[in-house]
Structure 1
């Protein structure tokens, strides 16, 4: 209806194009989302000055689509365009700047540039600490992101510190069975697991599982991941029968919820194989290793 009565580059079309693009993005229709965001950009370029803050929003939106399709270098270039405009047009502690720094950090991390990612996450955090209440959930999100990076860099004590700051905020503002709490418990568990503190890791994975069992469908893939993680910790502790039991629960969910050649299935088969090997059941181990290989040969580039 709008296109019938308005010129193709009429500014009033921007909001609708944005809404259509956002909906397609949420549905995973990334090429279509990109097409509509580019229509928005085309209109803005015809009607607005090049340093208008609206451009930054569009550049961020286009960057996020490229991030979603794993085109990280293009995503970074659009995020940088957004940042350049915001640095000229916004106060230095404006929340929109924090969003762009966050987006740049995510793209840096996806590219494997953890040092640059950490720098930009910290810039986002500094702005959020000045512009948001001290117990705002977005602060918790940023603490978690920084914690994950420190874990990837092997700096486990700093990783734990940031995850625990996130947990403190979430316990203050979220209901006890909120999925975000499960994510934070999982991150803390994974860090302790990396440190070799398997008993503490197990406790936090069990808290993760308890929340997920209350908040997620019984066949949700995240439940399978947690069962698999608990199985891995039990294997590290020498509790091989428990390890097998948890990995089998993971496998049952994955066989219902995932395609037959999904990499997560290969990971679970591998974990079951490794546990059987540790128990000395080599024929069972071999069978599961072969299933792992079969999936990897189909799913790896």
Structure 2
């Protein structure tokens, strides 16, 4: 039934409008997406793909749309295949290619394949360096993505290397990227903890706290998360009093901004009770 409907739609579009004006054809697909008719939109774009068999720009757009559509449906492996088809056609080293490489990397993270994710994040990084430079802030997200992928592989030294590269770049622009610098100190603190360097981890968390206190772009949630991270390290060091102090400070922040039944609020209260039991 749907395919019959598609034929009617194509008949209207091709007879009442200029068939070669792709906006008419793509607009209907976008309408389906906006109305969350994902299955119908997928069928429509698959049919549209055949209509544009000799127009590479339109095919790329169809592949990208199908990639995003299947990603939104949770079919990450199929989404990867659509984005790969797009980059096979789009060989121009531009922002679209960068975005596709990065999306594929993100999708590999979602299916727990960090090795392949790193492969595509590195492709992203190479193009970013070509377009910008080796120390441009545009590289930071990609560097952090690579670091997170290495962390997922438990290759903590490599993860630390890429987080530190990102931090070095942002520290050249401290006034613009204060909140991002605080986030990076948190990332590095997490890695240092995994490496067993507890005091170094605490130093980075303390840096993050100091930045958050004076940065208008940082939020109270950022401060609370940093305090939670510190509490974990203090617990690792068996300094339960300090761990409890950090948790209580974080809980005070959460009480002002979160619902009592929010998962983060529930989690931190349970953790406080756990530490209190350990201190008895």
Structure 1 length normalisation: TM-score?
0.71
For residue 161 of structure 2, what is the aligned residue in structure 1?
161
Unaligned runs of 5+ in 2: 1-12
Q: Which moved more, 1:9-18 or 1:163-172?
A: 9-18
Contact 1:147 1:161 in 2 (8 A): yes
Number of equivalences = 263
Contact 1:17 1:37 in 2 (8 A): no
For residue 22 of structure 2, what is the aligned residue in structure 1?
11
Structure 2 length normalisation: TM-score?
0.76
For residue 196 of structure 1, what is the aligned residue in structure 2?
196
For residue 228 of structure 1, what is the aligned residue in structure 2?
228
Alignment of 1:46-125 (within 5 A): 46-47=51-52, 49=54, 52-64=56-68, 66-68=70-72, 70-86=74-90, 90-91=91-92, 93-125=93-125
Q: Give 1:248 deviation, angstroms.
A: 2.5
Kindly tell me: are residues 38 and 155 of structure 1, through their superposed partners in 2, closer, same or farther at Cα, counting changes over 3 Å? same
- State the distance in 1 between where 2:29 and 2:227 align: 40
Kindly tell me: are residues 102 and 201 of structure 1, through their superposed partners in 2, closer, same or farther at Cα, counting changes over 3 Å? same
- State the distance in 2 between where 1:217 and 1:198 align: 25
What are the superposed Cα offsets for residues 129-169 of structure 1, whole Å, 9 maximum, x if unpaired? 23322222231211111111212222222111111111111
Contact 1:232 1:271 in 2 (8 A): no
Asked if residue 212 in structure 1 is aligned to residue 223 in structure 2, the reply is: no
Q: Please give the root-mean-square deviation of Cα atoms over the aligned residues, in Å.
A: 3.5
- State the distance in 1 between where 2:178 and 2:106 align: 23
- State the distance in 2 between where 1:47 and 1:172 align: 47
Q: Give 1:200 deviation, angstroms.
A: 1.0
Contact 1:63 1:79 in 2 (8 A): yes
Unaligned runs of 5+ in 1: 281-301
- State the distance in 2 between where 1:223 and 1:39 align: 47
For residue 284 of structure 1, what is the aligned residue in structure 2?
none
Asked if residue 182 in structure 1 is aligned to residue 182 in structure 2, the reply is: yes
Instruction: Answer with 1 or 2: which has the greater Rg.
Output: 2
